[in-house]
Amino acid sequence: MKSAKKWYSEGVALAKQGKYEEAITHYDNAIEINPLKFWALRDKADLLFDLKRFEEAVEFFDRALSIEPDAPVTYRHKAEALAKLKRYKEALECYDKSLKVSDENKSKFWALRDKADLLVDLKRFEEALEFFDKALDVNPDAPVTYRHKAEALIWLKRCEEAIEYCDKAIAIDPKYDVAWYYKGYALEELRRYEEAVKCFTKALEIDPKYTRAWRHKGYALEEMKKYEEAIGCYDKAIGVNSKYANVWYRKGILLGKLERYEEAITCYEAVIEIKPKYATAWKNKGVALYKLGKYDEAVACYAKALEINSKNAMTWFNKGIVLNELKKYNKAIDCFDNAIRIDPDYLHAWNNKGYALGKLDRVEEAIECYKKAIAIEPDYKLAKNNLKLAEGWLTKHRELTVTIKNVENSPLPGGTIKVVLYDKDWNLVETASKAYSGGKSLKIKFDNLASGKYFIEVYQKPDAGLKLTEFWGGDEVTVKGSTTKDFVRHTQFVADIKINGESPYGNEIEVNAGDKVHFDVTVKNHEGGTSFNNVQVRFILNRNQSPDYVFDAASEPIETQKNGEAHFGFDFFPLRAGTYDFYIVTSGYYNNKFIVVDQDDWYKAFNAEKTGTPEIRQLSELAFGLEKFAAGITTEQSGNYWKSAADKRFESGKSYLDVSKWAAVETYYLAAVDYLFCRDYASAVRAFGKAGAVWTEMGRWHVENDSSNLYQLIDFGRASAALFLAGKHDNARLIISDAHSELEKHILTESRGDWKKETAERIGVVGDLLDGVKNGRIDKKQFFRCVTHPMIIRSWIEGNPDIGRGGQIAEAHFWDGCELDFDGDWAAGPLLSDARLAEILCNRVSELVEQITRAVTIERAIYDPCKRDFLEGNLPRMRDWIYRHDPGAYWFAMSIENNTDKTIEEWDVDLEMSAALKVREAKIEGVEREIPQEARLKSFKISVPKAHGIVIPKGGAQRVYFKLRTDRLKTTYEISGVFKSAITGDVSIRTKEFKYLCDSGVLPEALKDELEKTFSKEDAARLANTFRVTQGIRNNYCNTDTKTKDISKEFDILKMYLTEKEFLDEVESIQRRINVELRGDERLDVKHVEDVKDFCEKFTEMWIARFLR
């Protein structure tokens, strides 16, 4: 029977012969006889490692170490196995244990060197250098260690130092071929190609089969333009290893440069045979086939390349070029669009897309493409020449004649016709006017137009009568060649206006502040026209040309018959002196189409003198104070004040609960009012709920302890109103029931009757309101009257006297205003004061009521690409949608929630916006099909018909996104609108105001023009380029398909434009981090993609704060 020692000795012999499986069997027999046989366990583990059975190897290393825990070599071998299993942390710990138990330099050296090599693999180069140095301290005559350290230095771009360490390795071993190779590699990185070639040659003299040396010698010769010699080197490498795909690829590129396309194709086919998913090999094979005129085969190769990698802009571009040659221009345009989507600054793609569009006779679109290319590269001669040819062609081929007619062929009234022409994006193209004295038609001509879709608007200013410019309507026209368009007048107009019976034209109308002014507006239907339905007049006044309206009222809708007139009356009491101007908007339905007729400008109405009684002047001061008070609460700064004040009041309310219920409830109520002013409706609801609960508690205390004074009725009245505002309608109904029970217990005595009657009325109003909510109706004025309380309102004013001068004036005149009475023309002072405050407060209350009673809830927000988030609110789902579509643009996002018990199957959204602001596209979340839409100057509409099936289910919501665009930067804009459906009626979309700073889609010249207002032309151009490059990195390189060397190149371009140190530091920091952690051909991982995104967002915020705000 063999001993354990014998089995082990035979196993060692078999291992030396390469018979690993038999050797393992012998080691197993040895271990079975003697389980504590250390060498058998350790050697078996080593053989398992050689057989790539790493998990088993680790198990037997552990068993060996359990017998001899101070075996440094075993720890080191175990570390190698753990590294193969990617258990790097444990591997590094094993190297540390090996160092700890090592008592001889040789063992320490290997542990230090191997740990350094693992740190290189982990791209922790700085740490690796530390351990290479420690290894060299132990053994300074180890050439391989010098070479390994040189490799780490190359990764850190410290190539000069790398050359020094290669020289040290060569000094110890002049025949060390790998050291010669890495010295050549470092020289190649420094672009010292001749020296690099000598080093590669030396390595190849030592080892003629060193394929990497052949490859890099070829690459260096290629950079020296010695293409034939380079091809010879690539052939040598292929001769050693015919499966060397990268060398076949490089050879193919050189053969292409030498125009030996058939041979190049053979090389690319060899690459594809080795690596079928080598996308650039498919692409370059396509290029070679294109050069040989084999267009269909080239297209097939590009298609294969794009199957593998659809995000290569050059492949799309090349495919587009071949499709142009095949005269498949529409398909070519699709390819160029894909290339531009990946790289918006791909000027050749823009130019060749223009060529394809021109071939399709879409010349105006071609011109835009040429302009895009020139904007990217102003000296791009080919695009400039193409642009000149296209514009020259257009001037000979496009014109539009508009023939204006009256309805039913009746004569036109004398005056001046103006036609305004807009392009398809509602950009102004041209305005033409012509005077005439009569006739049945008038022609106005526009020359030198691009073909495509246009919009026209027609205006007429009469030469007699009121002489108000009238809007006769608008229409759409498609221009192609010589185009004629018949336009038939189709709107009614304002025929006359009288102010206190006088015409404002040719007369200076004078009134006194405080006097009533009556306006009579006459609207006339056009001659021979059909009837207008639901005609309304909106009458607006301003004072001293202020942008704020002092009067804004709309009439009840009526119907005007053909050739008929309608009269509308408005009353106004000017409380302050000044010049008042009016503006009239008429609307109605004509042939089932909604028409809006705007006055073309403000017209003077009257002058108001500051005369009259002292009481009127005092009232004017009160109105002025309240007006200023209201203005103060609309500013962003005071908005922060209101929020802070409301939060403090709400917390104070809690502390008062145990001291004084009245103090607590008053404080909660005041906090709710403050929350209303800063439009924090959620907090307002919470505060009203607290107030309602305390008032309820107080009312019930009075029922039990002091019911004779009837304070419980007051408490119940206020409680029911507050609970209504908190949305707790069932609770409010219970309180109303309690109040009615109390009323039945007591007779309305004469001394207390008015008080109880008023309280009962207030309670009844809330009950009516609750019933109205249930039935979809609500009287907001009645509701406001129910919830206001003069004592509390005064306390609120006194508590906020520091909102500018307005708060102080309002406080000083409050009680004086309450005592005024004007011969019955005005209600008593307190009601007047409430009415003036209502002008401020009731709007907020109404908005809150809409929040808790409206048929749909509309949440809207502005997405700011500079902030990469919404300007206010936390809307992660909507933000994620925008991130997937176009995070570089401004978006107006809406969530429309259906609160009814019916599904909304057909609906519209009508937006109104500032003139320079445009909606570029509208999207509904989850819907791919096109949405019917209508764009006009200052407005944009989407219509969702029932047939589309895009419903808003009961209790559900739809999210709608509008992409915004303007070329006027650093400008504040407003956007508002109306949601319409048969179920909900018209629901207003409250105005959203925001500042448009800049977006990634803004044209470089527009950004440059804005910057030139502050900087020199040179600096403006330079800074515009820094913004463009940064946005390009954010939009095109923040993905895991990006190679390190490509993004590093973009960072180099960005640094080229920068002179500001703080910006340079940011760029160099991110570039250094990526270059250290990733190799040049490696693609970005998820972590580094997020790092680049963070850099772009931080850089953009810094840039805007420094150069644009």
CA distance 827 to 402: 57
Helix (H) or strand (E) holding 768: helix 753-774
Neighbours of 396 (CB within 10 A): 8
Phi-psi region at 600: left, alpha or beta (left = phi > 0; alpha = psi -120 to 50): alpha
Distances in Å between the alpha carbon of 699 and those of 551, 696, 970? Answer: 41, 5, 55
User: Quick one: which of 807, 539, 795, 790 has its CA closest to 666?
Assistant: 795
Give the chain's residues under pLDDT 50: 527-529, 612-639, 747-753, 766, 769-770, 772-842, 1003
CA distance 757 to 710: 11
Q: Which long-range contacts (CB under 8 A, 24 or more apart) does 364-370 make?
A: 364/394, 364/450, 364/451, 364/452, 365/452, 366/390, 367/391, 367/394, 367/450
User: Quick one: which of 469, 468, 475 has its CA closest to 490?
Assistant: 475
User: Dihedral angle at the C-alpha atoms of 763, 764, 769, 770, nearest 10 degrees?
Assistant: 80
Burial class (CB in 10 A: 0-12, 13-18, 19+), 37: buried
Neighbours of 546 (CB within 10 A): 10
User: Quick one: which of 624, 617, 636, 540 has its CA closest to 581?
Assistant: 540
How many residues are there in the chain? 1109
pLDDT (0 to 100) of residue 825:
27
Judge contact between 599 and 586, C-beta under 8 A: no
Q: What are phi and psi of 660, to 5 degrees?
A: -150, 115
Burial class (CB in 10 A: 0-12, 13-18, 19+), 1063: buried
Q: By three-state DSSP, how is residue 129 classified?
A: helix
Q: Which two tokens stand for residue 999?
A: 């977006």
Q: Which two tokens stand for residue 374?
A: 């020139």
Compute CA 1052 distance to the chain's CA centroid, rounded to the nearest angstrom: 27
Which letter, b or e, does each residue of 764-788 get, where b requires 16 or more Cβ atoms within 10 Å of its Cβ?
ebbbbbbebbeeeebebeebbbbbb
User: Quick one: which of 79, 161, 172 has its CA closest to 121?
Assistant: 79
CA distance 778 to 769: 6
Q: Which long-range contacts (CB under 8 A, 24 or more apart) does 372-378 make?
A: 372/347, 373/347, 373/348, 375/1003, 375/1004, 375/1005, 376/345, 376/347, 376/350, 376/1004, 377/347
Judge contact between 979 and 933, C-beta under 8 A: no
* Residue owning tokens 């019917």: 932
Say if strands 549-554 and 532-543 run parallel, antiparallel, or are unpaired.
antiparallel
Alpha-helix runs per DSSP H in 258-380? 261-274, 279-291, 295-308, 313-325, 329-342, 347-359, 363-376
Answer yes or no: pTM beyond 0.85.
no
Q: Which two tokens stand for residue 879?
A: 């933000």
Helix (H) or strand (E) holding 512: strand 510-512
DSSP per residue, 141-189: T-HHHHHHHHHHHHHTT-HHHHHHHHHHHHHH-TT-HHHHHHHHHHHHH
Q: Which long-range contacts (CB under 8 A, 24 or more apart) does 172-175 make?
A: 172/141, 172/142, 172/143, 172/146, 173/143, 175/206
SS3 sequence, 897-955?
Answer: EECCCCCECCEEEEEEECCCCEEEEEEECCCCCCCCEEEECCEEEEEECHHHCCCECCC
| Orientation of helix 661-677 relative to helix 636-656, angle to 10° | 160
User: Quick one: which of 156, 87, 72 has its CA closest to 120?
Assistant: 156
Judge contact between 756 and 742, C-beta under 8 A: no
pLDDT (0 to 100) of residue 350:
94
Q: By three-state DSSP, how is residue 436 classified?
A: strand
Position 638, amino acid: S
pLDDT (0 to 100) of residue 984:
75
CA distance 263 to 235: 13
CA distance 694 to 653: 10
CA distance 44 to 807: 91
Angle at 235 between CA 230 and CA 236, to 5 degrees: 95
As beta bridge partners, residue 898 has: 856
Judge contact between 417 and 444, C-beta under 8 A: yes
Position 739, amino acid: A
